[in-house]
Amino acid sequence: MSFKNQTFPARLGFALRGLKFALRTEASLRTQAIVLVAVLIVLVLLRPEPMWWALVALASAAVIATELLNTALEQLADLLHPELHPRIRVLKDCAAAAVLIASLGALGVAAAFAVHLFR
């Protein structure tokens, strides 16, 4: 079955299936999702300006997206080369580093928001 030129509902279904798989199998993604829900609750309670909602949305999307790409790369690497290999380790380490960088960026947004609140 070709995934090219599918209808929007079909492509949306593929994406939701991938998200469901990753949430079911990846503890780090579940943690990030829980943190996102907590952050959204804080935003609802504090009612910041729309700019802060946008920054949180962008930072959160970056973290979740890199977690999903990390999961996809790990799944592909494990399928193609199930045994431990130094170059596969580098690939997985780099993908994990991407998640770390996105998470640090999100923490930077959180720190800026805290400074904004308490000044």
What does the domain layout of the chain look like in residue ranges? Answer: 8-117
Strand runs (DSSP E) across 34-80, as ranges?
none
CA distance 69 to 65: 6
pLDDT of residue 1: 60
User: Residues of the chain with pLDDT > 90: what percent?
Assistant: 93
pLDDT in tens, 22-38: 999 999 999 999 999 99
pTM for this predicted structure: 0.90
Q: In the structure, what pLDDT confidence band is assigned to residue 84 with cuts at 50, 70 and 90?
A: confident
Q: pLDDT, tens digit, for every residue of 39-63? A: 999 999 999 999 999 999 999 999 9
pLDDT of residue 5: 87
By the 10 Å C-beta count (0-12 exposed, 13-18 middle, 19+ buried), 42 is classed as middle
What CATH code is assigned to 8-117? 1.10.287.3610
CA distance 78 to 93: 14
**Residue in this structure with the two tokens 């609140």, named with its chain if needed:** 117
The position carrying tokens 């990753």 is 22
Single out the residue of 108, 3, 15 nearest to residue 62, CA to CA: 108
List the catalytic residues.
Answer: 67
Residue type, 21: F
* Listed range (22-31, 52-61, 79-88, 95-104) with the worst mean pLDDT: 79-88
